[in-house]
Structure 1
Amino acid sequence: MTLHRKTADGVQQGLFITFEGGEGAGKSTQITRLAEHLRAAGDDVLVTREPGGSPGAEAVRHVILSGAAESFGPAMEALLFGAARNDHVEQVMRQAVNTGTMVLCDRYIDSSRVYQGVTGDLDPGLMRAIERAAINGLMPDMTIILDLPAETGLQRANARRGAETADRFEKETIETHRKRRDAYLAIAAAEPRRCKVVSADRSVEDIAADIANLVDQLKASRAIKMKSKTGAAK
């Protein structure tokens, strides 16, 4: 049974779930597993990613991951990410959520907070301003943070990549990757209602089961709230 929440005007609204974590954390694999789980339950599902997910954002993705923008510094990268995110939000994700789709996104605001904000050492005020403009209120209902040691993540990323060239973020120092892990955990500690930390140093099946359980709990909670509001309105 598909479970959605209703907005004030009665429109059925889906859930927005983001996946975060360092390099090699297994986000793509776990998003695929969760999408299969939700579709089996009857949900409409959109799987997307950042940077990217819309034509304009995909063009920016190439510029960022190729390293072409690196010489301009983290502030320019943050602005590029913000522009790509806004296009993604307004062209794809907002409409999907508002029409009842379960949206699963590989990276979102927390990646910018960590990669450009913390390890890019950008001013928090600048980061908040870019974030507000980019998302225009579209916050995740839940963020899954896949956590594992930086060394393990980079080993996995290298094994997965094979002959492919590492993107500009994978090439950075182990100290930088460790700092990003700590930053993700700090975000989770500051926003425990939204962020759920899931150990990614286990089997794919165990991780997927934990994530499915978290999302099923969120769906059940929303269904109870909808039923309660419907009953109160009668």
Structure 2
Amino acid sequence: MPQLFKPQSLDDVCVFARNEGEYFVRSLSPLGDVRKTRDSTIMAPLSWFYCFPSARRAWASVYQAAKEGRLHFELPKASITVSMRGMRVGSTVYATQLSLLKIEAQEEPIEFGVGHPQVIEASAHSRAGKRDPQCSSLGKEYQKLTDAEWEVVRPLLASPKGKIPVDNRTLLDCILQKRYTSMTWDEVAALHNVPVPRVTTAQRRWKTDTRLNSVMERLNEMRNAAP
């Protein structure tokens, strides 16, 4: 974005605020009007840049390097989870797309941001997308399975031989998140730290033998009955 090559550019694109413990970013348009945004793909990275010292330095480093005729970005104190897509040419795989999924700050926030989460979900459990119709009554946003929900639906995922693999809960959470959002299988699998084939195979198998349909119906009943 061109704003990076201006002094004090972070303050030119957003204003950080807190209301009763809730953090949000107000984005500033070129016309000067202020719009509140809750889109986590925008809010999460900007709130991290705004509240953590090395992240602010990383943002400012782009402008500082540009003044010297260089392209440079100072690495912040954080680890990130990304999803990568690419193409293979011979024996080499070239990355063509990186999607930021999660930021884990490895430092304390600046004083005004005390209490800011150290783990910032950048890709959006809530990212807009075409949702599966079976999710229509489960709520507006993806929610991980609770312990109580898992105890109820767990037997429904047992194989014909009665076996229940220990990672079925993680696989089901992956499938629910994919159905709720526009995230790709690669992104969902990376966020839950499971291989993509493991998730897609489970989804295909459970859908074919109707186990997934039974789980979705039971979850609908439970969440609709909750106060």
Aligning the two structures, in what range does the TM-score lie when normalised by the shorter sequence? under 0.3
Q: Which has the higher contact order (CA 8 A, sep 6+)?
A: 1
Normalising by the residue count of structure 1, what TM-score does the alignment of the two structures yield? 0.23
Higher helix share: 1
Bigger-Rg structure (1/2): 2
